[in-house]
Amino acid sequence: MKKIIVLILILFLTACSKGSAVESLKKEYPKTVKAVFEQLPKNVQNEITVPEKLPFIAKNVSMDVQKNQGNGSINFTTINYSNGEEEVIMYITTYHHKKSSISGDTGQLKTTKLKDGTKVLIVSDDDNTKTIRWKKDGLYRSISILFSSETGKQYSIKDLLRTANSMSK
């Protein structure tokens, strides 16, 4: 009986913690994230995940939504993080059409994995731009970081992977 209670408690705590990353972001940025987020359909809201760890301190956070011109459905949502001076910007995008694919020649791209084994494509690994994308839970997601050489710090694909591994609802 004690094992069942412990299992239920663990499941309950896990379920409660999943809502915390998005809820914290909405609470901290009510005008730029919460207002946009709460206008989305519930099914889209439930698909959005955000990181708990970033490779820099974000001072500005906003959210963008791109809708289909024809039927008004949500194509993708993007959470935008910047360090305030716009020297570092990170875009975290969720593509909301489960049947869609991301075009391009993926055969030539390098790959790596998230800690849960999910295959990740390295789309860009240039001096000042890094981008990864992957498919999880039937949805494509991507993280891009753009940074100026004036930041004094170089970011890497490992930074994006740490961010991706920290993502939750």
Residue ranges of the domains in the chain? 22-168
Question: What's the rounded mean pLDDT across residues 45-60?
Answer: 94
Query: Which tokens in the block code for residue 85?
Result: 């001076």
Q: How far is CA 38 from the centre of its chain?
A: 17
CB 155 within 8 A of CB 111: no
CATH number belonging to the domain at 22-168, selected among 1.10.1370.40, 1.10.10.10, 3.30.200.100, 3.30.9.10: 3.30.200.100
**Global pTM?**
0.82
pLDDT tens digits, residue range 8-36? 434 444 444 445 788 999 999 999 999 99
